[in-house]
Structure 1
Amino acid sequence: MPQQPSVGRLVHYVSYGTPGGEYGKDCRAAVITEVSPESKGEGREVVGLAVLNPEDMFFNRGCEHHEAEGDDKGGTPGGGALNHPGGTWHWPERTG
């Protein structure tokens, strides 16, 4: 059974990076603060997040879920943020 988003769960948010390249596209720790009603029963998982950055914290509502397809679909295995569009969230990759 796939994981279900719920308030308080830890996930990864993918940052966009900056246009000038000062900051790259990275995975950031985030806490789910709300699960949107539009998520229920439609196969779309939209949540509100409290995103934790090294310098600050911000809140993002209406953030869509995205899971990587893997290398058979052109993804980079273990690539973290490289496998996800900026502004989306995903379950943390397993380590070890």
Structure 2
Amino acid sequence: MSSTPSVGRIVRYVSHGTPLRSDGSQEFPPAHRAAMVTEVDPHDPHRVGLVVYNPTGQHFHPLSAGGSVLDETGKLGGSWHWPERV
């Protein structure tokens, strides 16, 4: 689904998870979270600023800190994608 994001749109954010342990496991693996677009890069509409809604609170991921880039596969930590249709 290729569409241009705009402020206020709901997207899915993929968290990074915790660093890998020496055995390759993670305490918290990457997870998909609800997010809302707060700003769109005027030079790259696939890079956005987000507010991410976690079970324990909100996380702000602004453009000034690098923002979040589109990953349509939904696998890259720190990326966003459109919600899956169910």
> Does TM-score exceed 0.5, indicating one fold?
yes
2:48 alignment partner in structure 1: 47
* Aligned pairs (5 A) from 1:80-91: 83-91=74-82
Aligned length: 77
Q: 1:29 Cα shift? A: 0.3
Runs of 4 or more consecutive aligned structure 1 residues displaced over 4 Å after TM superposition:
none
Q: Which has the higher helix share?
A: 1
Q: Which runs of 5+ in 1 are unaligned?
A: 69-82
Percent identity between matched residues is 49
Q: 1:2 Cα shift? A: 2.9
Distance in 1 (alpha carbons) for counterparts of 2:6 and 2:44? 11
Distance in 1 (alpha carbons) for counterparts of 2:2 and 2:16? 26
Task: Report the TM-score, using the length of structure 2 for normalisation.
Answer: 0.81
